[in-house]
Amino acid sequence: MKYQNGEMYDRSTRDTYRKLWYEMVERYLDMYLPKEGRVLDAGGGTGEFCIRAAKLRPKLLFINFDISKNMLTIANKKLSKLGLESRMRCQEGDIMNMPFEEKSFDYVMCLGDALSFCSDVEKALSELSRVTADKGLLHISVNAFWGNFAIMIGKGLDAGFTFEDIKNYYDTHIIHQHGVSTDCRSFTFQELDDIGKRNGLICIKAFATPVFPIHNDLLSDDEKYEYMCELQYKNCENVKLIDFGNHINVIWRK
């Protein structure tokens, strides 16, 4: 779903499943973020990933870039509350036409569904690559085509999908609900790898977040949560399973 309301978006990500998703991404951010430099969060919305990254690296400077004015309003409130305004600023704009100079950022993030909603993915990724510094890292995550397809055919109407929606998704890779396109595109790892190569990027890490769908009931207490986390981390980089996760993450070196 594409959100323009920042408060609604933040509320939608507060369940235990999303908690696991954020924690998995944060684990890899901690592995790959530089100690110093500039970071761009393209399509950063309400600033959640920027804020988590800022807590991991106190010397980094951030720009939270998003097309939604409302999302950025919420992000600015969060930055003010956390005292992060000196290290982080929000800026409105389109990922497919960014106002930044070439090679401006040491680490570029485009996480969640931001790239999935771009109408021209090739142009968007070219822009993301353009503003990434030489030897810098570009970290994207998108909806996984096969993982979402498995959920759609497994849950169908219970998840709000009709038979026609499933057919449309298989043909277009774009999620439809009750005949209406969400404009949200899903990808296979091979598609992402090919796009990266066309932009001269080298894949240094690929993983799924999460790799297995988990019902919230199985994350309801510390013992279950710990066990499910262990399962995820053991398998999320398995190349045979990445395509069947919820989101595919790729980290490229320019």
Q: Does some domain include residue 158?
A: no
State which residues form the domain around 138. 6-144+183-253
Share of the chain above pLDDT 90, in %: 77
The mean pLDDT value for 201-209 works out to 97
Number of domains in the chain: 1
Average per-residue pLDDT for the chain: 91
Q: With respect to residue 23, please indicate whether it lies within any of the assigned structural domains.
A: yes
With beta carbons less than 8 A apart as the criterion, state whether 62 and 22 touch. no
Q: What angle do CA 36, 42, 128 make, to 5 degrees?
A: 85
Q: What is the pLDDT of residues 175-185, one digit of tens each?
A: 998 889 999 99
Q: Which band of pLDDT confidence, cut at 50, 70 and 90, is reported for residue 7?
A: low
Kindly report the CATH number assigned to the domain that includes residue 137.
3.40.50.150
Query: What is the average per-residue pLDDT within 142-168?
Result: 89
- What pLDDT, on a 0 to 100 scale, did the predictor assign at position 19? 82
How confident is the model over 77-110, as pLDDT tens digits? 999 999 999 999 999 999 999 999 999 999 999 9
Average pLDDT for 225-250: 94
Residue located via tokens 């774009």: 174
Q: Is 95 exposed, middle or buried (0-12, 13-18, 19+ CB in 10 A)?
A: buried
Residue 166 lies in a domain: no
* pLDDT for the residue 198: 95
Q: Is the pLDDT of residue 166 over 60?
A: yes
Instruction: Establish if 122 belongs to a structural domain.
Output: yes
Please compute the mean of the pLDDT values over residues 228-252 and round it to a whole number.
95
- What DSSP character marks residue 100? P
Q: Is 12 part of a structural domain of the chain?
A: yes
Domain-located, residue 176: no
State the virtual CA torsion across 189, 195, 199, 205 in degrees, nearest 10.
Answer: -10
Rounded distance between C-alpha atoms, residue 13 and residue 5, angstroms = 13
**239 part of a folded domain:** yes
